[in-house]
Chain A
Amino acid sequence: MAFLLRRLAFYLAAFLVAATINFFLPRLMPGDPIQIMFASAGSELSLENLNALKLTFGFIDAPLHEQYFAYLQSVFTGDLGRSIKYFPLPVTELLGRALVWTVGLMGIATVIAFTLGSLLGVFAAWRRGRLIDSVISLTAIFSSSVPAVVVSLIMLFVFGYTLGWFPNGYAADPLIDPAWNWEYISSVLYHGTLPMLTLVFVLMGGFAVTMRNNMINLLGEDYIVMARAKGLSDNNVMLWYAARNALLPTVSSLAIAIGTVLGGSLVTEVVFNYPGLGNTLYQAIIARDYPVIQGQLLIMTAAMLISNFVVDLSYVLLDPRLKKA
């Protein structure tokens, strides 16, 4: 319990850091921060609306520390301001809508990539030095070193434009009304396949390399020799003695990988014109819609912290030693 509480306190502090960066960044830039933040608003926003927006970001006639607390107050009450491009849509609503798509796409891709990558790593380590190890290692090196944007563009070119197997963009056929029926759901699945495969390829390599290295370091341990001496089958030793223990450090690398996943998913969404966080953010960058750009940092930090916490929880389950601590 103490372990989890300590982690929770730490995550709260980390979130505070992200909020603090958001607060100070416009104020550190040369020039007038209000000018910078709301320049794109032009004459579209009435004075009253603009003042309300300034208040959200702590631009009040008061000393800096009071401005800071005014901003923190809006952040912790869930008010991230309103989008300038889509005024008066609140940033939380805009990003919340997009988050659903990203979490769906990313969640499925991460689970598949983690399972597939780890299994490949296990096989590569088990058959170390053989042909299968060579093929898996080389693929893994390639997959973990090529930028997500490059993989996305090549996948789109090959399977989208040249072969025409998959659609070139959007989350679903725009002619079909969103509803809980098979027509719409199948369209969503069909449109999501290519971006998902791209993400799986981008993420898989890292998991495979980590798992392979962990496994190899474990294979010399006494309990592996013991399991073999007992005459257990090869698969049994590989999966239930070696892989099970090698999984522990991989899970902690999963927590760090989630940050990479977010990054990779951002770019993939832009390439495939997928309506998730990445694309929303891309549109915001083009329009210099600062409240949205700042809001995404907070939402993504929150997403990262929550997934880290889930990993912490699973760590306690996987490693009984931590339960006592």
Chain B
Amino acid sequence: MKLFAQLLQNKKAMTGLVILTIIILVAIFAPLLTEYSPVKRVGRPHQAPSWDHWMGTTRLGHDVFSRLVHGARVSLAVGFGAGLLITLIGTVLGIIAGYKGGVVDEVINFFTNMVLVVPNLPLLLVLAAFIGQASPLVIAIILGLTSWAWGVRVTRSETLSIRQRDFVKSAEMLGEPGWRIMLFEIFPNLISIVGINFIGSVIFAVITEATLEFLGLGDPNTVSWGIMLYNAQNAAALAVGAWWDILAPCFALAFLGLGLALINFAIDEIANPRLRTGGMLNRWTRMVRLGEGKL
């Protein structure tokens, strides 16, 4: 809770949280924000943005805005679902390896290093190619099962140092069982690392889902930002001048990525106070305002 209170005082974290909240609200209230169905033909193909379709239409005559707000649901669900899975596996294995040591540590560490050097995206491409048209759920699961290695490495090294502290030693003397020490003595001290791992994994999952779908490995019937990019690219949207078709999901992905990255950066600063930039966003907003003044 202390971490959360500190987050609320950090400007970067607040900006990130605001961005994230906007996207979450849009995703929840998607059907109320638009009168159009995201999967029905509601206009002529590739209409430019107008009062009726204020982000234009796709080549199939779908409303881009409707697809965008509905697609937010999939991006967020895959991001947070896969992020949770990645963090869960990474944290559990990391704490066990760091605390137990010995053979258990050797085995976990060996596999972790192994997974770290097999390039992730090419591996995912092979997996997704064999699965065929992967639904967002399948993508989230394979992301979760293949991307935990970094989390294990970081959690493990932090656990190794915490394990030597007095409070862990005294818990051991008192005869607390191993699982209790790991869960109630060590885990609470890892909370900022787990937080960074979680947000980082969410960013990674959002990016990778969009990439896999863009490359044609997703299920083309889903409404998601990656599939929007895939369809737009297939329709050669840029070449025929339908920039709205491609730029809408692009900016949505960039916006979500930026929001999450700001939160991550802020947690990093709270965990390691030396890293603080000192009113960075203050200066940024002042600079932007100065720019506006000149206009």
Give residues in A with beta carbon < 8 Å to B: 10-11, 13-14, 17-18, 21-22, 25-26, 29, 36, 128-129, 131, 133-135, 137-138, 141-142, 144-150, 153-154, 156-157, 160-161, 168, 212-213, 216-217, 220, 256, 258-259, 262-263, 266-267, 270-271, 281-282, 285-286, 288, 290, 293-294, 296-297, 300-301, 304-305, 308
Known pairs A22-B126, A141-B261 / 11 extra A-B pairs, C-beta < 8 Å: A138-B284, A145-B257, A149-B229, A161-B239, A216-B275, A259-B120, A263-B122, A271-B233, A285-B216, A286-B216, A301-B119
User: Is A285 within 8 A of B215, CB to CB?
Assistant: yes
Quote the shortest CB–CB distance from B99 to chain A (angstroms). 24
Quote the shortest CB–CB distance from B87 to chain A (angstroms). 18
In the complex, what distance in Å separates the CA atom of A146 from the CA atom of B261? 9
In the complex, what distance in Å separates the CA atom of A262 from the CA atom of B124? 13
The A contact surface, by secondary structure, is helix
Give residues in B with beta carbon < 8 Å to A: 113-114, 116-123, 125-127, 129-131, 150, 203, 206-207, 210-211, 214-217, 229, 233, 238-239, 241, 243, 246-247, 250, 253-254, 257-258, 260-262, 265, 268, 272, 274-281, 283-284, 287
The chain A residue sitting closest to B268, CB to CB, is: A213
In the complex, what distance in Å separates the CA atom of A141 from the CA atom of B268? 12
User: Is B118 within 8 A of A17, CB to CB?
Assistant: yes
Contacts of A25 in B (CB 8 A): 126-127, 130
The chain A residue sitting closest to B250, CB to CB, is: A150
The chain A residue sitting closest to B260, CB to CB, is: A145
Partner of B215, one of A26, A29, A135, A270: A270
Q: A146-B253, A154-B247, A282-B216 are in contact. Are A297 and B277 (CB under 8 A)?
A: no
The chain B residue sitting closest to A298, CB to CB, is: B122
User: Is B119 within 8 A of A133, CB to CB?
Assistant: no
In the complex, what distance in Å separates the CA atom of A300 from the CA atom of B124? 12
20 contacts between A and B (CB under 8 A): A129-B276, A131-B287, A133-B277, A134-B280, A142-B258, A145-B260, A147-B210, A147-B211, A147-B257, A148-B207, A150-B210, A157-B246, A213-B272, A263-B122, A266-B122, A270-B214, A281-B122, A282-B215, A293-B125, A300-B119
